[in-house]
Each structure stands twice: as structure tokens, then as C-alpha cells.
Amino acid sequence: VPARTLTAAAAVAAIAALVAGCGGDDAGHHENSAVPDGARTIAVTARDFEFEPAAIEVAAGEPIRIDLDVHNEPHDFVVDEAHAHVGGEEGETVTGGFTAPGEPGEYAFYCSIGNHRQLGMEGTLVVGQATP
């Protein structure tokens, strides 16, 4: 067996392991995270291979709804610390939500599909002080 094939098989296994770990509960990988009550909607475009906008500002603990406009091929929007996952197929606009982290700072959002993150599909979730 060519080494190339083995490498590809290992990559597929690694991706399968990542997908299995996504969400960490009974929700499937393709099930979008729930939109919290009172969420503010932020429109995000995902395309090969970038997000628009590349930086999103939220307040600590703020309920957020993401409307993700998906272009070119399947993409998703993930924030590990907020357990956020919104994903869809090319041509879809999909909705999901999350509660912003309680600790102000900068967090990464990214596309977890294939090597999209390495190709540039990541951005910054800027979490500011909670609004009174």
C-alpha cells in the first residue's frame, strides 16, 4: 500500500474522531447549537476559505444567534469555549446560537470541516465586558 494512501486513511480517521467529539453529547454533529432566549442576530458569511466578518464583537454572557450564509461547499462555524456549532451545505443559510463566554477576551471561531481552518477559515470572537 502506498504511503500516500495510508496518510489519507489516517487523516480520515482523525477527522472522524474530531467529528465524533463535536458537541460531546447526544446531539449529532450536524445539529446546530440552540439559540438562547433574547439572542442578538449576527449574520456571518462562510466561503472558501474565509469568514465575513472576520471579527465579531459580543458582550460577556450575551445570547447570540448566528445566521450563517454558506457558499461554495459545506462549512460550519464553531466556537469551542461556547459550545457553538452552526453548519450547513452550499447555498443554505442556517441558524444556531450560543451564549458568549463569561470571561472577556479573544476567542477563536473557525470552520471545523476538513482543513478549512488551516486554509484561513478562522476569525476572532471579541468578548467585551458584560453590559449592565
Binding site for Cu ion (CB under 5 A): 75, 111, 113, 116, 121
Q: How many residues does the chain have?
A: 132
Nearest to Cu ion of 31, 50 (CB atom): 50
Residue 112, helix vs strand vs coil: coil
Task: Find the shortest distance in angstroms from Cβ 11 to Cu ion.
Answer: 16
CB of 58 to Cu ion, least distance (A): 21
Cβ nearer to Cu ion, comparing 73 with 81: 73
How many alpha carbons fall within 13 Å on the CB side of residue 49?
A: 13
Residue whose CB is less far from Cu ion, 104 or 114: 114
Q: How many whole angstroms separate alpha carbon 47 and alpha carbon 49?
A: 5
Q: At its nearest, how many Å lie between Cu ion and the CB of residue 116? A: 3
Count Cα atoms within 13 angstroms, Cβ side, for 7.
3
